[in-house]
Chains A and B, each alone.
Chain A
Amino acid sequence: MKIVVAIKQVPSRDSQLKVNTSGKWIEDSDLSWEINEPDAYALESGLQLREKSSGEVVVICVGPSGASQTIREALAKGADRAIHIDTEDYGSSDPLALAGIMAKALESEKPDLLLTGLQSDDLGYGQTGVILAEVMGLPHATIIMNIEEAGGKITVKRELEDGWFQHVEIPLPALLTIQSGATKLRYATLMGIKKAKTKEVKKLSASELQMDLPASIKLDRIYFPVKTKHSQIFDGPAKESAAKLIEKLRFEARVI
C-alpha cells in the first residue's frame, strides 16, 4: 500500500507570538518550530499501517525552506521519502489553495491512502484533508481513531461528539484525517536519524503548482483579541497569589 501523509510545521505550543508589520501574519523569525501535533499522529498511523501490510510512506509538506527540519524528523521516524513544496507565503494561503497545490504534486504518485491531521495548530481551518479528498475525487472520513485494512477497503473508527463513535467502511483509494492521541507516537532512533540523511526529498515550488481558481476568501488582518470578560489575574509570587485567590473565592465569588 502506498500511503501519503501530509504534514505541516507550526510554531511550538509555548511560543510567545507577535503580529508582524504586515498585520497579516506572525513575526516568525525567532520562533522554534515543531510538527503539527495531529499530523504527527497521522504519520504514526501511516507507519503502523505500513508495518502491518508493507508498502511505502511518503510525506508531503507545504512550507518554507525551514520546514526541512520537520521533514527530516518524519524521515528519521521511518517515512521512506518526502515531497517538499516550497513556499514562503504559507500563512495567508487559504486551505483550498494549499490542497490544490498538494493535489497537483500528487498527480503522479497515485497513493492508495492519504492521511492528514484533523486540523493545524496555527490556522486551524480543519479542512485541508477534506478539501484535498474532494479535489482529488476521493472518498474520505474525518477524526479517525483507528484504521483496519482488508481486501481493498478499510474500516475506520470515527470519533463523534459526546463520547460516541462510528465505524465506517471506505473503498481505497481514500483520504482520512487523523485524531490526536489515539496511539503512542514513536521517537526517531539513532539509526533512523542516520538513514534519514540519505532519503530522497523532492523539492517543488508552490508557484508552479497553483490551481487556476480565484480566491473566495481573503485574510484581512490578524490581532490579539480584546478581553471581553473582566478577569482578575494574579501574577506575583505563588504564595501571595494563592492567598489572594482563596480570599476572593471565599468572600467575593462565595463558591467555597
Chain B
Amino acid sequence: MSGVLAVLEQRDGVLHKMALEALAAAQQIGAALNLPVFTAVLGGGAEALTGYKIDKIHVLEHELLKDYTPDGYTIALKQLIAAHHPTFVLFPHTYQVRDFAPKLATALGRVLVSDVISHRIEDGKTVMVRQLFQGKINADIRFEGEPPYFASIQAGAFRADTLVAGTAPIDKFAVDLKPDQIRTKPLELFRESARAVDLTAADIIVSVGRGIKEADNIPIVQKLAEAFGGELAASRPICDNGWLPMERQVGSSGQTVAPKMYVAVGISGAIQHLVGMKGSKTIVAINKDPEAPIFEVADYGIVGDLFEVVPALIEALKK
C-alpha cells in the first residue's frame, strides 16, 4: 500500500499546535499525487482528527509509549511503516520530532528532509524546499531511490485552515515493545520560573537581538519601547546571556506573540525567533544586513546601524 503518512504529535491527549499543519501538508501532497492520506498518533488525541478527510488514523498503543522516548517511538513507527509501506512519512518539525525522526529515517537507511517550507511536483517527482544559512538561502531537495521518503514541516509553512473536512476511521495498531529496548529514562517535565511578564497581552512589542552587542546598550532599545508605549522583549541570545530575563524571550523556546506591532531591533530572524512573532499584525525590522531573513516577514524595514536608527526613531516620535 502506498500513501502519505503524517505522524502527529500529542501530549496528554492534546495535539501539538503544529500537528494540523503537518496534516495539511499531507493532504496537499496526497491530493497532488493522488495518494491516500493516513495519520499516526502515539497515544491519545485521535478524536480531534475524526472530522478531517483522512483515509485512516492509526493509533499506536502500548504502555511503554505513554512517556516519550526516542527508542520507543522509533521502534513503534518502524513497525507501522513495515506493515503499511507509506510513500511519504511527514512530521511537524517540533523539538520532539527533531529528537527521534532522524533516528527513524536512519534506521531505514533514509535521510529526513528536515524543516521543509514548501513542496512542488516536477515530472511526477516531489521536490522539497528547505532553508540554509538560517533562512538566507533556499535549497531544492529531491528524494532518490525507493520510498519511504521522510520530511518534517516547518511551523507555519502549511496552514491548518486549508484542511479538508471529511471522515476518518480509527484503526488501533498494536506495537510490540519490551522494556529493555528503551535505553533512556525520561523523568518529570518542569518549568523554571513563573512568568511575571505576559508578553501576549501587549499591543506593541519592541524586541532586541544580538545586534545590540552588549548588555550596557539594552537601555537604548528600552527607551524605544517606552517611546512606543510597548513592552520590551528579546531574542534568545540576549536572554541566554542574562541581559534580559528569560520571561521576555520570544521564539520557539520562549513566548509566542501576535501584537498589533512588533519591532525587531538587531534581530536577524532565525526561524526559532520567527515562529514566535510572525503572526504579528505589523512587523517592523531594523537591521544593518539587508539580507537578514527578518526582512522577509517585515512590513516595514530600516537597513542601517541600530545605534543611529533607534535614537532617530525616538526623536521622530516626539514630533
Contact = CB atoms under 8 A, between A and B. Distances in A.
Interface of A: 11, 13-14, 16-17, 19, 26, 94-96, 99, 118, 121-127, 130-131, 133-135, 139-143, 155, 159-171, 180-182, 213-225, 227-229, 231-235, 238-239, 241-243, 245-246, 248-249, 253, 255-256
B103 A134 contact: yes
B296 interface: yes
Contacts of A213: 109
Contact of B141 (A126, A219, A256): A219
Contacts of B229: 256
Contacts of A123: 132
A117 to B, nearest CB: 13
A96 B106 contact: yes
Given A124-B134, A134-B102, A219-B139, A242 B95 contact: no
B187 A217 contact: no
Interface in B162-216: 183-192, 195, 204
Contacts of B109: 213, 216
A-B CB proximity, top 8 nearest = A181-B240, A242-B312, A238-B308, A127-B102, A139-B183, A235-B303, A220-B140, A169-B185
9 contacts: A95-B111, A124-B130, A127-B111, A160-B96, A163-B191, A164-B191, A217-B142, A231-B300, A255-B260
B131 interface: yes
Contact of A241 (B107, B204, B240, B304): B304
Contacts of A122: 132-133
Contact residues of B: prevailing secondary structure: mixed
Contacts of A131: 102-103, 106
Nearest to B294: A231
B145 A234 contact: no
A168 B139 contact: no
B69 to A, nearest CB: 9
B143 A216 contact: yes
Contact of A215 (B140, B145, B184): B145
Contact of B132 (A124, A216, A245): A124
Contact of B99 (A17, A130, A169, A182): A130
Contacts of A181: 236-237, 239-241
Nearest to A140: B70
A169 B69 CA distance: 11
A249 B188 contact: no
B316 A243 contact: yes
Contacts of B191: 163-165
Given A125-B115, A217-B143, 12 more contacts: A13-B268, A94-B111, A131-B103, A163-B255, A171-B183, A181-B241, A217-B144, A222-B137, A222-B138, A232-B300, A235-B303, A239-B315
Contact of B301 (A94, A133, A161, A231): A231
B313 interface: yes
B304 A235 contact: yes
A222 B316 contact: no
B289 A241 contact: no
A248 B301 CA distance: 11
A238 B137 contact: no
Contacts of B95: 142-143, 159-161
A249 B100 CA distance: 44
Nearest to B256: A162
Interface of B: 70-71, 94-96, 98-100, 102-103, 105-107, 109-115, 127, 130-134, 136-145, 149, 183-192, 195, 204, 228-229, 236-237, 239-241, 246, 252-256, 260-261, 268, 281-282, 284, 289-291, 295-305, 308-309, 312-313, 315-317, 319
A229 B98 CA distance: 29
A26 B296 CA distance: 20
Contacts of A243: 312, 316, 319
A155 B185 CA distance: 9
Contact of B133 (A11, A99, A246): A11
B137 A130 contact: no
Contact of A139 (B71, B142, B237, B316): B71
B201 to A, nearest CB: 16
A233 B303 contact: yes
A23 B24 CA distance: 31
Contacts of A222: 132, 137-140
A32 to B, nearest CB: 14
Contact of A168 (B186, B291, B302): B186
Nearest to B146: A216
Contact of A161 (B113, B241, B246, B252): B252
Q: B255, B284, B297 — which one has the most chain A CB atoms within 10 A of its CB?
A: B284
Contact of B137 (A19, A167, A216, A239): A19
Contact of B114 (A99, A125, A141): A125
B127 A220 contact: yes
Given A123-B132, A222-B138, A255-B204, A143 B291 contact: no
Contact of A159 (B237, B253, B300): B253
Contacts of B296: 225, 227-229, 231
A256 B318 CA distance: 12
